[in-house]
A and B are shown apart, each in its own frame.
Chain A
Amino acid sequence: MSSVELHPADAIAFLKASRRANHRGRSAFDRLYTIYILAISTVVIGVLGYGSLRNHPFSPENIASVNARLPFILAAFFGLVFIGVLRFATWQGPVSFSRPDVPFLLGSPLSRGELVKPKLIGAAIFGAAASAGLGIVVFVFLEAKMLADAGPLLGATLAGPVLFGLLAVGLSWHVESSIRRARWVVRWGWILFVLAVAVALGVRDPSGDLASAALWSGPWGWAAAPIVAAAGGSAPMWPVTLGLLAVSATAALFTALRSADAAPMEELARRAGLRSGLSAALYVQDFRGLAMLGREARRALFLPRKRKIRHPRRALLVVPWRDALALLRAPSRFVWAAALVGAGALVGGASGNHPGGLALAIVLGYFAAARLVETVRQEADDPDAAGRLPWAFGDVILMHTLVPSVVLAGLGWVVIGVAALDGVLTGAEAGPSIGLVALASPMLVICAAGVAQRGRLPIELLFYGSEIVILWYALGPLLGLIALGAPVASMIGNFDRDLGMSQAASSAAFFLALGLVLGITILRRRRPKTP
């Protein structure tokens, strides 16, 4: 056996050739056919869509209004994409290896930098191409609706997003290659999220100064500035922002390529394991599996805090104790629930009793409840666990609704308190509202628990088509709408008949109590899934 100079390209070329030879999947013709169909569909839909938009351009007043809001819309959008890409890099990122790549390639003496660089360059090309595609969609919309000059607009909608995409790929490698930076992004990334939301809120009252601040607030604004200028808006310094973006993207990519060998083996191996789970979960549309992978990834960065609550002495309190522990150890669930309740209250308040707005508020409330019933999902993951308790499965599930109901009601009462302090609710209205929240919260939690105890999407449903799968996932929000729809409708009907709050609330309370009895009865009859 003699040794020769190591060439990663040789090993990778052999790997690719062997895998291609053994691959029993689609032929090259099938792949080309798919690309052809996608391309032709895109062109046809693009031409039709463009024609349709072009036939109904904005009026000059609308164009002025959109131009005033465009800096906020685009900067907020790019900001959300930016934090999304960086968050993705905390558990996957632009460079990923398969599980066997770890022992066979990364564990070999081949240069790790040489193994990483082609993947990083591929990710940069993909990022640039995806951004260009996005830019073209923006171009088509703005050119057709705002009748902007096509040449400069096309240049701006390509240059800004493409440079932004390259910057995002470069920075995301820096996150991927350092656990410290990944932790930093997870810990502080929410600030960027809040900033993006704050920028988006600027749409409500657009002013020149605020727009300028949005465009200078970071790379997300720099990428938006040339588009705003080309669409006819005010961004006089756009060449500077574009230059800043170009310099940042070049620096990020250059330093990323220079540090291509910096990622620790342990981290690349962990991501390879997550990638294999991710592919499997996506293949069977298992969103629960995806969520669990996300949690596993977070736990690798931050160990869960082992906060404790003294265990109860009474058996009946053991399930609520377990639920309280679960919430205490995953406080993000509570934060999400609070945010969703707050968003629901804002949407409901702003709806002016419009059915669509109220329905959205109910759905947001349902999602808040769904965030709090994780332990029910765990019972569904392991039906035998409930079998070790001295109660029927349905009763265990019902017990699991106690803590989430109290927490959700508490959040609802906080909203009522804020509304009362703000003068939105009078004292006479606040009292009945507290009672209604006390009934509506367990109702939503019971709906969420009933849906959660079904477990993961049965694989056989995938054979019945996407409509059935969508319906399976939509059942929860639909149940929430059905459960709270009647009480809300009765309240609005009573308000329309000029009845007082107490009378409107009592009829709604009746419907809620009826729904609760029905929900509890159904939940208690649930049986664990048999494998």
Chain B
Amino acid sequence: MLGVLVEVTVKLIPKAPFSRVLLAAFADIRKAGNAVADIIAEGIIPAGLEMMDKASVRAVEDFVHAGYPTDAEAILLCELDGTEDEVATGLAEVTQLLDRCGAVEVRVASDDIESARFWVGRKAAFPAAGRIAPDYYCMDGTIPRKHLAEVLAGIRALSKKYKLEVINVFHAGDGNLHPLILYDAAIAGELERTEAFGSEILRLCINMGGTITGEHGVGIEKINEMCIQFNNDELDQFHAVKAAFDAKGLLNPGKAVPTLNRCAEFGAMHVHAGENKFPELERY
């Protein structure tokens, strides 16, 4: 949008000498969400902190047999890194904390091989979705973690409304949610229903004080939702910045930032900083 990248310099950091992952199962997704907050409150910043809901656990378990507990409502994967001692102390601390938070089971990987197996499931979530449905649509909203249970409940309600299955994987440490909507593009109208479903999920994320995209960015998809997250002045400012780099509008025109006309056609109800009009009305 702003230029053609021809070279990139990045900072490198030494790799941690040791890392280990643990897996915790919860019978209640709300408790799993609270456990994440408690880990952070304890001053622990894990190298990875991921959550999966029951539907995604079952989907990957059928696929890669990672050994996940398929009766759990949610599982958490928490990886710590540092020196061996540091990791051992941290894992003991996190295990105690997860017990207190109501985890029904906590498994600490005994070695690198088991650590890798714990991760295999999470990393296979996207292909697993592809295995159980002809198509899937991945969303990327980010929310304050404290609203996780509420957002997941909202997604479940939307799933019923649109009659489409959804599985959820979640970069829990960052509040970054990846609902994967399962659909079949060969069925007339299903893609459009999927897009409408996705749009409502993003609207929900904005209403909760979050954002429509945490890491995937906006191209053509999600461009309409930009009209909800930003007001016209803000969109104007984006266009002015683009023009400063690309006066003739040659680079990826029409992507990432919608024109005000497009927003008018989309008929967006702008929600600013999570302040909802008529908050007393139920929205999902």
Q: Is chain B found bound to chain A in the same assembly?
A: no
Q: Which residues of A contact B (CB under 8 A)?
A: none
Q: Which residues of B contact A (CB under 8 A)?
A: none
